[in-house]
C-alpha cells in the first residue's frame, strides 16, 4: 500500500498521458480536480488486489464522451458520487474499493477524487493497460464480465441505471444517453468481485504510470533528454521524429476521428508519416510501411520537453517524437485482436507486434 498525495498525482497524470496514447480525455483537468480533492479530504490509499477479500465489491469510475467535449465541460466530483451511489443501491452492496477503467488521460485521475472523498482505497491497476475509445474494449470483456449493471450521471443531477444484454448494447445506449447529457457523462460500471478482478486487472498500472511521469520530471530537472527518459521508463521504441504539417479531425459527439500528417526530421528527413486516431492514436505509417498499430501504444511527445500530446492537442507546427510501447500480453490473443486490433477500426492490415516491426526495419 502507498499513500497518494499531490506530488504523486502530478506524476500519475503525466504518466497516464503517456499511456493514454493520445486519448482518455485531457489529464490536466483530471489532475487539477484530484489535487483539489486530496487537499480537502486527504491522500488516497493505493493498494493491490491482495488487500481485498474475494467477494469484496470493486467498482471502476470513469468519464465518457468525446475528448473535445470534455475539454469544455470541466469534470466534477458530485456526478461521480451519484453514479457510484446509484450502482450500490441497485446491487444492494457497498463498494470496498474503486478502480480506474483505463490508465490513460482523465480516467486515470478522476477515480482518486471519489476515493479521497469517501475514504475508499483505489486499486493499483486498470482494465486496459492503456486507453481505448469504446466501452467494450476492456480485458473484462475477454473474461465475460459485462459492464452491466451500470449507472450514468450528469452534472445536472440526472442519473440512469441500466441493465443491458451484451457489451454492444452497453456501448450503444451509453453513447446515446451521453449525447442527451451534453456529450460527456460519468459512469460507475464493470462492477466485479475482487476474485474476478484478479483475473482481469492489469496489475500495478497506476504505479507504472507514476514511474513514467516521474522519469519525465527527473530528466527535465537534470537537463537530460526527456524523450529518451520516457523510452527507457516505458520499454518503448522511438520510431519517428517530425513536424506536424496538417491535421484532419471530425467530431461526431461520441468520438474524435482523424489523422495527422508528419514531415520527417533528423534521421527521418525527406520522409512523411501519418498518425491515425479515434480518440486514441491507433496507427502509424511512413512511406507505405506500417510502423505500429493498436493494441500497441502510439505516443506523441513534444520533441524538446517530452510533454505527451493528446489527439485533441495535435496541431500544425508541433515538433514531435513518436514512441511506441508494447501492449500487455493479454491484448495479443486472437480474441483480443478481434476486439481492439487494427481491422476492428477499419484499417486494412493485420496486427504485427511492434518489436517485430522494429526488427524488420
Pairing type for strands 97-100 and 57-65 reads: parallel
Residues facing residue 98 across a β-bridge: 59, 122
How confident is the model at residue 71, as a pLDDT? 65
The CA-based dihedral angle spanning residues 43, 49, 53, 59, taken in that order and rounded to the nearest 10 degrees: 70
How confident is the model at residue 254, as a pLDDT? 66
pLDDT, tens digit (0-9, with 9 covering 90-100), for 8-35: 999 999 999 999 999 877 788 889 999 9
The answer for residues whose C-beta is within 8 angstroms of residue 11's C-beta and 6 or more apart is 209, 210, 211, 213, 214, 217
pLDDT, tens digit (0-9, with 9 covering 90-100), for 148-181: 999 999 999 999 999 988 888 898 899 899 989 9
How confident is the model at residue 67, as a pLDDT? 64
Cβ proximity of 22 and 300 under 8 Å: yes
> What are the C-alpha distances in Å from 323 to residues 56, 266, 358?
38, 15, 12
Q: Say how far apart CA 125 and CA 52 lie, in whole Å.
A: 14
Does the pLDDT of residue 68 top 70, yes or no? no
Does the pLDDT of residue 353 top 90, yes or no? yes
The answer for residues whose C-beta is within 8 angstroms of residue 220's C-beta and 6 or more apart is 226, 305, 306
> What are the C-alpha distances in Å from 81 to residues 59, 112, 186?
12, 12, 9
pLDDT, tens digit (0-9, with 9 covering 90-100), for 272-282: 999 999 989 99
Q: Strand, helix or coil at 257?
A: strand
Q: Say how far apart CA 73 and CA 216 lie, in whole Å.
A: 29
- Strand ranges for 154-296 from DSSP E: 159-162, 184-188, 192-193, 202-203, 237-251, 256-264, 272-278, 280-286, 289-293
How confident is the model at residue 26, as a pLDDT? 75
Dmax over CA atoms of the chain, in Å, equals 62
Q: Strand, helix or coil at 144?
A: coil
pLDDT, tens digit (0-9, with 9 covering 90-100), for 217-272: 999 999 999 999 999 999 999 999 999 999 998 876 567 789 999 999 999 999 99
Which candidate, 13, 46, 192, places its Cα nearest to that of 120? 46
Buried b (16+ CB within 10 A) or exposed e, 308-319: bbbbbbbeeebe
| Burial (Cβ within 10 Å: 0-12, 13-18, ≥19) of residue 279 | buried
> What are the C-alpha distances in Å from 18 to residues 38, 44, 193, 242?
23, 22, 29, 18
Which candidate, 273, 283, 276, places its Cα nearest to that of 257? 276
Mean pLDDT of the chain: 94
Which candidate, 55, 105, 101, places its Cα nearest to that of 80? 101
Cβ proximity of 204 and 165 under 8 Å: no
Does the pLDDT of residue 117 top 60, yes or no? yes
pLDDT, tens digit (0-9, with 9 covering 90-100), for 273-323: 999 999 899 999 999 999 999 999 999 999 999 999 998 899 999 999 999
Q: What is the mean pLDDT of residues 208-222?
A: 97
Pairing type for strands 237-251 and 184-188 reads: unpaired
| Burial (Cβ within 10 Å: 0-12, 13-18, ≥19) of residue 337 | middle
How confident is the model at residue 166, as a pLDDT? 87
Segment (H or E) for 84: helix 78-91
Domains plus CATH for the chain?
Answer: 2-205 (3.40.1610.10), 225-360 (no CATH)
Which candidate, 303, 339, 297, places its Cα nearest to that of 16? 297
Amino acid at each position: 500500500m502507498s499513500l497518494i498525495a499531490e506530488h504523486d498525482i502530478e506524476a500519475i497524470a503525466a504518466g497516464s498521458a503517456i499511456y493514454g496514447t493520445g486519448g482518455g480525455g485531457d489529464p490536466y483537468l483530471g489532475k487539477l480536480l484530484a489535487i483539489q480533492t486530496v487537499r480537502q479530504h486527504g491522500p488516497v490509499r493505493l493498494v493491490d488486489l491482495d488487500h481485498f477479500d474475494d467477494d469484496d465489491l470493486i467498482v471502476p469510475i470513469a468519464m465518457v464522451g468525446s475528448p473535445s467535449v470534455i475539454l469544455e465541460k470541466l469534470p466534477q466530483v458530485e456526478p461521480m458520487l451519484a453514479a457510484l451511489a446509484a450502482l450500490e443501491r441497485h446491487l444492494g452492496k457497498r463498494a470496498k474499493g474503486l478502480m480506474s477503467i483505463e490508465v490513460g488521460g482523465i480516467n486515470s485521475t478522476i477515480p482518486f477524487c471519489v476515493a479521497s472523498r469517501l475514504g475508499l482505497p483505489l486499486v493499483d491497476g486498470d482494465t486496459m493497460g492503456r486507453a481505448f475509445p469504446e466501452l467494450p474494449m476492456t480485458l473484462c470483456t475477454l473474461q465475460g464480465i459485462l459492464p452491466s449493471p451500470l449507472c450514468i450521471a450528469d452534472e445536472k443531477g440526472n442519473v440512469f441505471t441500466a441493465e443491458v444484454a451484451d457489451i454492444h448494447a452497453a456501448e450503444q445506449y451509453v453513447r446515446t444517453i451521453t449525447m442527451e447529457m451534453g456529450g460527456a457523462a460519468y459512469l460507475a460500471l464493470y462492477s466485479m468481485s475482487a476474485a474476478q478482478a484478479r483475473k482481469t486487472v492489469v496489475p500495478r498500472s497506476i504505479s507504472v504510470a507514476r514511474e513514467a511521469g516521474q522519469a519525465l520530471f527527473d530528466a527535465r530537472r537534470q537537463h537530460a533528454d526527456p524523450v529518451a527518459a520516457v523510452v527507457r521508463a516505458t520499454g518503448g521504441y522511438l520510431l519517428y521524429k517530425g513536424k506536424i504539417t496538417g491535421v484532419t479531425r471530425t467530431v461526431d459527439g461520441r468520438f474524435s476521428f482523424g489523422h495527422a500528417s508528419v514531415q520527417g526530421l533528423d534521421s527521418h528527413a525527406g520522409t512523411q508519416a501519418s498518425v491515425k486516431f479515434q480518440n486514441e492514436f491507433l496507427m502509424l505509417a511512413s512511406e507505405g510501411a506500417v510502423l505500429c498499430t493498436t493494441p500497441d501504444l502510439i505516443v506523441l511527445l513534444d520533441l524538446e520537453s517530452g510533454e505527451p500530446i493528446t489527439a485533441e492537442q495535435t496541431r500544425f507546427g508541433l515538433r514531435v517524437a513518436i514512441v511506441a510501447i508494447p501492449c500487455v500480453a493479454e491484448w495479443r490473443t486472437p480474441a483480443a485482436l478481434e476486439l481492439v486490433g487494427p481491422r476492428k477500426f477499419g484499417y486494412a492490415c493485420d496486427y504485427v507486434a511492434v518489436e517485430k516491426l522494429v526488427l524488420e526495419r
